Structure 1
Amino acid sequence: MKKSLVIFYAIIIYAVAELMWWGYMLVKLNPSRTGMIMGEGSMFVVVFLIGAYFLHKSMNKEQKLQEQKKNFLLSVTHELKSPLASIKILLQTIQKRDLTKAQVLNFIDKSLLDVERLDDMVENMLLASKIENRSYTFPKAEFNLSVLVDSIVNRLQISKCDCNQQIINAEIEPKIEIIGDKFALTSVVTNLVENAVKYSNPCETVNVKLFEKEGKIHFQVADHGIGIADNEKGRIFDKFYRVGSEDTRNTKGTGLGLYIVKEVLDKHQASIKVKDNRPAGSVFEVVFA
């Protein structure tokens, strides 16, 4: 890609130089038509430079996309290897050691959590692919959103603290019904809650709220994590985009989660906003009209 940019700039410089030279020659041959030659030449240069600017912008965008795809593949590889390695170690421990029934059940539970993590990631990639190819139809039916959010919160209620305390504080108004694609909205809730947990420090509380107000359904996820800079808030829903730089980022991910969230909510005529939490962190608020 860098070679292409060098060639592109070289062609631009050559073309402008040639244009100026031919302009000079024409003026020299026809001094009486200097005004017309300068006017038409200037117009051509302006159009040429505008075209070159947009082409340059397009090439830069393509280069960034290629870099994001490369980082995505590296992230997916890491995301796949981590739970697989964990499952392998747990199963090998069960196989080779004489464990109590309680220990075996504990290891099986941990393995199942890693399997669910892998399943979520695969579902994300499949859904993102279908959305991009416009092959997903978003079948809608009425279902209980309260039950859905509660089940996802319970599944993701993984303690990262030695004191085994819960890190997700949920306030879910019961019996909230909605018409939508249950599978796709499951991905929305899962991605938002998982992100909040992922970008929070151990033992930091994540607050999840679901309530109805003035005829609209509100779903909020608030964390006390690293937060999102103002200049990145408008880009976090882009495909493959991740907060921070590859050199400084510590949290792993694929960059698909928030892209899926935005695409799914657009299909449900729902809005999502992100704002700063106090004193630190972010708040994502989804509103279903």
Structure 2
Amino acid sequence: MTQLKWLVHPVMIFIFSIITVAMSLILYIYWYVEISAGLKAVIQKANLDPDQVLAPQTWVVILILSILVGIILMGMFIIFVYNQKTLQLYRLQRNFINNFTHELKTPVTSLKLYLETFQKHQLSREDQLKYLNYMIHDADRLSENITRILNLARIESKTFKEEFVTRDLVSFLEQFSERNKHIFHGCEIHVHNPTGRAFEYGIDLSLFEMLLMNLLTNATKYNSSKTPRVDITFTPTDKELHIRFEDNGIGLPRTELKKIFRKFYQIGQPDNMSAKGSGLGLYLVDTIARIHKGTITAESKEGEKGSVFSLILPSKLLAANP
């Protein structure tokens, strides 16, 4: 498998392209200098018509050269595409580093300011509690960003191994939302299961909780409603189980729906720091969904509030009780 990856690596393709160019030049020179001269001598001695002998050979050379040129062009095209993707990834990484540095520096600066205030001033108990709440919020923000980096490193580690256990997804989501309701800042989370069935599926507990945490945190974080709300609905079909996470948040531009699951991608302009988040949350969600043999999709109607994220799992891996 490793050898196969090396064969399709752009560097190897570039080397093959150079070799092909050299071969085509050598073939051309060899044919027209050596072979053609020899054939002409034989033709003259045999008193044959040169057009009848050399014409078919010329077409063979033209065909071979055309194939070689096609290989060269294909190799160059692949290298160009790879280079463009590499540049795009570099820009995303650079923007991620700039924004993530800002995301880390802001709460640290804020914490330092509050600590200096405590150090220099005698504050009333009411002010102390107010500043302590601000500090806790900044610490949570800092912890969230660091956790996402650690989670990304963990998932992409070659030594990482999933540990799947079978759980009823309806009960699991109900227990998760109840256990972590203090994290979602008063968000109303409702789990709907119209069929009343239990859907048992093999999940990695820590990874699946990470997926839920990212989806529900985003629904709360990017929400301007007075009371944030998320409705989680289980909808089974013949081949799939759809778990819909529908919120009443600010929604997403239609042009961004397919991009938001990319690594390091952030909605907004990185240059003016209007891009929000770390660019890792939904990438982790998509990666975890794939680890569980599923997919994640996003919907959002233009001009309307709210987004819908659908986790789609295959029914063939699902043990559903009637």
Question: Highest Rg: 1 or 2?
Answer: 2
Q: Quick one: which of 203, 214, 239 aligns to 1:191?
A: 214
1:237-285 residue CA offsets vs partner (Å, 9 max, x unmatched): 2222234553476133222111111111222344322112363353212
- Please name the residue that 1:237 is paired with: 261
**Identity, % of aligned positions:** 24
Preserved contact between residue 204 and residue 224 of structure 1 (Cα < 8 Å): no
Preserved contact between residue 210 and residue 217 of structure 1 (Cα < 8 Å): no
**Normalised by the size of structure 2, how large is the TM-score?**
0.68
Within 1, Cα distance between the matches of 2:181 and 2:303? Answer: 24
- Please name the residue that 1:55 is paired with: 79
Q: Quick one: which of 68, 88, 91 aligns to 1:44?
A: 68
Which residues of structure 2 form unaligned runs of 5+?
1-13, 37-50
After superposition, residues 203-218 of structure 1 pair within 5 angstroms as: 203=225, 206-214=228-236, 218=243
**Normalised by the size of structure 1, how large is the TM-score?**
0.74
Q: Quick one: which of 189, 195, 198 aligns to 1:170?
A: 189
Within 2, Cα distance between the matches of 1:192 and 1:268? Answer: 16
Preserved contact between residue 227 and residue 276 of structure 1 (Cα < 8 Å): yes
Please tell me the residue identity of whatever aligns with 1:209: D
Please tell me the residue identity of whatever aligns with 2:144: D
Preserved contact between residue 107 and residue 141 of structure 2 (Cα < 8 Å): yes
**Cα pair distance change 1:239/1:278, threshold 3 Å:** closer
Q: Quick one: which of 235, 245, 249 aligns to 1:220?
A: 245
**Cα pair distance change 1:226/1:171, threshold 3 Å:** closer
Please tell me the residue identity of whatever aligns with 1:170: I
Please tell me the residue identity of whatever aligns with 1:253: G
Query: Secondary structure of 2:303's match?
Result: coil
- Please name the residue that 1:80 is paired with: 104
Select between 209-218 and 42-51 the one with higher mean Cα deviation.
209-218
Preserved contact between residue 206 and residue 221 of structure 1 (Cα < 8 Å): no
| 1:78 to partner: Cα distance | 0.7
Preserved contact between residue 232 and residue 246 of structure 2 (Cα < 8 Å): no
- Please name the residue that 1:163 is paired with: none
- Please name the residue that 1:3 is paired with: none
- Please name the residue that 1:283 is paired with: 308
Within 1, Cα distance between the matches of 2:111 and 2:298? Answer: 35
Within 1, Cα distance between the matches of 2:92 and 2:217? Answer: 21
**Cα pair distance change 1:173/1:109, threshold 3 Å:** farther
Q: Quick one: which of 161, 164, 181 aligns to 1:137?
A: 161
Which residues of structure 1 form unaligned runs of 5+?
1-8, 158-165
Q: Quick one: which of 93, 98, 107 aligns to 2:122?
A: 98
Preserved contact between residue 79 and residue 252 of structure 1 (Cα < 8 Å): no
- Please name the residue that 2:44 is paired with: none
Please tell me the residue identity of whatever aligns with 1:207: R
**Cα pair distance change 1:67/1:53, threshold 3 Å:** same
Q: Name the count of aligned residue pairs.
A: 267
Aligned alpha-carbon RMSD (Å): 3.7
- Please name the residue that 1:146 is paired with: 174
**Cα pair distance change 1:186/1:95, threshold 3 Å:** farther
Within 1, Cα distance between the matches of 2:23 and 2:289? Answer: 52
Query: Secondary structure of 1:154's match?
Result: coil
**Cα pair distance change 1:104/1:71, threshold 3 Å:** same
| 1:18 to partner: Cα distance | 11
Query: Secondary structure of 2:182's match?
Result: helix
Select between 232-241 and 111-120 the one with higher mean Cα deviation.
232-241
**Cα pair distance change 1:81/1:57, threshold 3 Å:** same
Within 2, Cα distance between the matches of 1:154 and 1:83? Answer: 21
**Cα pair distance change 1:205/1:287, threshold 3 Å:** farther
